[in-house]
Amino acid sequence: MRRRELIAMLGGAMVWPVVAGAQQPGPVRRIGVLQSLSETDPEGQDRVAALRRGLHALGWIEGRNITIDYRWGSGDPQRVRSNASEIVASNPDLIVASPSSVLAAVQRETRTIPVVFAQVTDPVGAGFVASFAHPGGNITGFATFEFAIGAKWLELLKQIAPSVTRVAAIYDPVTPAATGHLPMIEAAARASGVDVSVFGVHDIGEIERVLDEFAAKPNGGLILVPSALITYRRDVIASLAHRHRLPDVSAFPNYPASGGLASYGVDNIDLYKRAATYIDRILKGEKPAELPVQLADKYKLVVNLKAARMLGLEIPVSVLARTDEVIE
C-alpha cells in the first residue's frame, strides 16, 4: 500500500467517530403542561396548539426530541393540585403552568424545576417572581395585563350600555391577583356615576345566586374579573347574564365567542406561542432566574352582535370602529 493511501485511510478512520457522534440525536427532553381547563375545551386546545407551533418553529418536535405530558384541571382546584403534585414527582426538565391558580399549585410543589408561565397577572405581587427584570427563582414567563385595565372594562360596558347604573363585579378569591382589578373598576365607576357591587364566588352555583339577586333591580351590568373559574364556566355565565338581561364584559375573546357580549384584553393565545421561546432557551441551558418576565403586547376588542341584539342593544359606531373581531 502506498504511503499516501495509508495516510488517507487512517485520516478517514480518525474522523469517522467524530462525524458519527455529531449526527446522533440529542436526548429527548420532557416537559409537563398544566392547564386549568378541560381537554375538550376549544380554548385549551387553542392554547396548546399555539405552544406547539412556537416549539415547532424552534426545532422542538413531539416524538422526536421532546415529549409533553398534558394535564387538565377541568375547573377543579383539587384536580389542579393533584396534577401539580404528579407532574413534579415525575421530575420533568421543565413545566409550563397557567393561569395563576395553576402556577400557584406548581410553586407549592417545587422551587427547583424550571417553570414557564403564560397568562398570569401580577406575578410579582402574587409572589411568583422577585421582579419583572430579575425573577430570581425557578419561575419566569409572560404576564397578561396591569390592573389599570379594569377601568377599561367599566368604560366599555358604559359605552355599549349607557343605561347601566349598577354593576356587579364577579371575581374568584382563589385567583391570586383577582382583587387587584377591583379598585380600578370602582374608581372608574365613581367617575361614571355607577354603583359597583363586588362578589367573590367559588363555583357556578354561587354565581347563579349572585346574579339572581343582583338582577332583581333594573339597569344592571356585569364585569367578569378573569380567573380559571370564569374561563371554564364562561358559556354558562353568558347564558345566565342574558337570561337576566345583564350587559356583560370580560377580559378574554373566548367569552364573547361563547355567547357573552364583549371583551377587552390581551390576545392570550399569543402568550402561549411566545412562551415557547423561553422553553427553548431554558432547555438549551439558560436559567429562569435570568430571563425577565415579559408583558403581553397584543390586545383585542371583541363584540358579539348577536348577544347585543338579544339584550336590545345597538353597538355604537365608535366602538365598532376600533373592534378587532365582530361575532355575528
pLDDT of the residue at 53: 97
Number of H helices, E strands in the chain: 13, 13
The pTM of this model reads 0.83
Q: Which helix (H) or strand (E) holds 130?
A: none
Q: How confident is the model at residue 20 (pLDDT cuts 50, 70, 90)?
A: very low
Phi-psi region of 252 (alpha: psi -120 to 50; beta: other; left: phi over 0): beta
Mean pLDDT of 270-287: 97
Distances (CA, A) of 124 to 52, 142, 144, 265, 293: 27, 12, 12, 20, 10
Q: Which CATH architecture has domain 149-266+300-327?
A: 3-Layer(aba) Sandwich (3.40)
pLDDT of the residue at 319: 97
Fold of the 29-144+267-297 domain: Rossmann fold (3.40.50)
pLDDT of the residue at 26: 75
Q: How confident is the model at residue 25 (pLDDT cuts 50, 70, 90)?
A: low
Domain parsing of the chain, residue ranges: 29-144+267-297, 149-266+300-327
Secondary structure letter of residue 125 according to DSSP:
T
Instruction: Assess contact for 250 and 230: CB atoms under 8 A.
Output: yes
pLDDT of the residue at 19: 36
Q: In the predicted model, is pLDDT for residue 91 greater than 50?
A: yes
pLDDT of the residue at 37: 92
Q: In the predicted model, is pLDDT for residue 21 greater than 50?
A: no
Q: What is the mean pLDDT of the chain?
A: 91
Least confident of 4-13, 34-43, 112-121, 202-211: 4-13
Q: 29-144+267-297 with 149-266+300-327: one CATH topology?
A: yes
Instruction: Assess contact for 164 and 135: CB atoms under 8 A.
Output: no
Name, in order, each residue with C-beta under 8 angstroms of 1's C-beta and a sequence gap of 6 or more.
Answer: none
